[in-house]
Amino acid sequence: MSHAAYARLTQRLARLGALGEAAAILHWDASTMMPKGGGAARGEQLATLAGLAHDMMIAPDMAADLQAASTQSAWEDANLALMRRAHLRATALPTALVEAVARANSACEKIWRDAKAHSDFAQVRPYLEEVLRLQRETAQALSAATGLTPYDALMDGYQRGVTAAEVEPVFNAYEAFLRDALPRAEEIQARRGPPLPLRGPFPAERQRALCRDLSLRLGLEAEHSRLDESVHPFCGGTTTDVRITTFYSEKDPAKALLGVLHETGHALYERGLPAEYARQPVGESAGMAAHESQSLIIEMQACRSDGFLAFLGPMLERSFGGDAAAYAPGNLSRLWRRVARGFIRVDADELTYPAHVILRFRLERAMIAGELAVAELPGAWAEGLRDLLGITPPDDARGCLQDIHWHDGGFGYFPSYTLGAMAAAQMMKAARAATPGLDAALAQGNLTPLVAWLRTHVHGHGARLGFQDLLRAATGKPLDPSDFQAHLRARYLDEDGQDRSAAASR
């Protein structure tokens, strides 16, 4: 056994990490800056980078070093284990397939933008069929190598160690909870009457300045981040060059503002990862469910709390003017914690959002299993949404075309959203217990105590711990969906409309 072999592996993974960072910036550019005519060339660039990275991972000397490597610390143990996992997944896939997937994803994603704008599913259907064909081929190959089911093999690429068999009962239980909780929340909300509207206009430039100010206030350093615009908000880039995006509506500032708070949560996680293991597997995030927990603990748990809304209201009034009563925390809570059965996932409230994820989980699982054809997707989508929320989308733009994920090859990702929301509630309960002044700080617009807790209990672990072990380390137990349900009851099912989440956490 040889520590020199381990050192060679870290050098190789550092180069692979740099290739991944280059691809991340190219993806960001494609969504924010690239002219429409650059799509074909960009697809080839990304495919070439994916092929180069894959060839480096499956090279014979990589396998030899993995066999010979010895480690000298627990962190190195974890890093080597993650290298072996990555190598196993990579060697399951031919380079030609990896490049074909990158090309198909890039081509489909570009067509999807136009198809969504025109609500024309037929336009993107053949491209999505090719993406799905390649995803199924990928899933089968990974399944054979890992022993997981094909769908679990895809899920494992986003959040290791979590399977559909674990997720399904959690989602079924939530569906049962929602069946009673949603009409009750709607009834309580109706008795309180409608909130005062925020009357615009809300100039995009003022929104942009406010969003940037808030992201910096939350702790995202200007010298390591950018804020730009894209059709679908996201956080990308690298740990030292974080790119967050949003989009602006001059009729409604909430879309951009809450989107930036969400993406800043992702960005803070990236900035808090262990710098000494940068470009190493163990220095990455713990997975996408873990990542979603970090965006949602910032946006939903902290920044939609009564305390933070009391701080935020005067900022909004100074930025946009208008009726001061509309910016009162009670009114903002009724606006931004309003329960509504809607068609669009990214606009959904906390209570109904998991229903959108459950729908996608069931549909993508069926597509990967070969039980649902792409041509049947619009009808299956409409039927599934009707079963879960009692509504039917009026067109495909508000149905199966609304998300980028499948059109960019993201099968197996969606469960991470709701697992992350549940984990966020569990982490917030633990953070409040450990930090008695946390809610008072939020009322001052100060997230430093919360971010400090996250730096220690989540961010600093990198990928050393899997999702469940990370939760055990941070909260003392694995995922407990009852914490999320308790948070929702406290926030949405209380008769006077006050947020009792802090009290419920104690």
Q: Is the bond leading into 201 cis (omega within 30 degrees of zero)?
A: yes
Burial class (CB in 10 A: 0-12, 13-18, 19+), 193: exposed
Tell how strand 235-238 and strand 225-229 pair up.
Answer: unpaired
**Average confidence (pLDDT) over 232-243:** 93
Whether the CB-CB separation of 454 and 296 falls below 8 Å is answered with no
* Cβ atoms within 10 Å, residue 213: 12
Measured CA to CA, the distance from residue 182 to residue 174 in angstroms comes to 11
Predicted pLDDT at 414? 97
Least confident of 135-149, 466-480, 490-504: 490-504
* pLDDT level of residue 503 (50, 70, 90 thresholds): low
Burial class (CB in 10 A: 0-12, 13-18, 19+), 506: exposed
Predicted pLDDT at 104? 96
Closest CA to 479 of 209, 251, 166, 226: 166
Is residue 482 pLDDT above 90, yes or no? yes
Measured CA to CA, the distance from residue 237 to residue 228 in angstroms comes to 12
Least confident of 167-171, 199-203, 224-228, 391-395: 199-203
Q: Which helix (H) or strand (E) holds 246?
A: strand 241-246
Residues of the chain above pLDDT 90, percent: 93
Q: What is the mean pLDDT of the chain?
A: 95
**Average confidence (pLDDT) over 163-191:** 97
Q: For residue 44, indicate whether it is catalytic.
A: no
Class of 204-340+420-505 per CATH?
A: mainly alpha
Predicted pLDDT at 231? 80
User: Can you give the residue ranges of every domain in the chain?
Assistant: 3-147, 167-193+344-408, 204-340+420-505
Provide CB contacts within 8 A for 455, sequence distance 6+.
272
Tell how strand 241-246 and strand 225-229 pair up.
Answer: parallel
**Average confidence (pLDDT) over 381-401:** 98
Edge-to-edge order in the sheet of strand 235-238: 225-229, 241-246, 235-238
**Average confidence (pLDDT) over 443-449:** 97
Residue with token string 């005062």: 196
Is residue 496 pLDDT above 90, yes or no? no
Predicted pLDDT at 269? 98
| 200-226 tens-digit pLDDT | 899 999 999 999 999 999 999 999 999
Is residue 506 pLDDT above 60, yes or no? no
Predicted pLDDT at 494? 85
**Average confidence (pLDDT) over 381-397:** 98
Choice among 109, 263, 292, 299 that is catalytic: 263
Predicted pLDDT at 499? 66
Least confident of 13-27, 72-86, 362-376, 483-497: 483-497
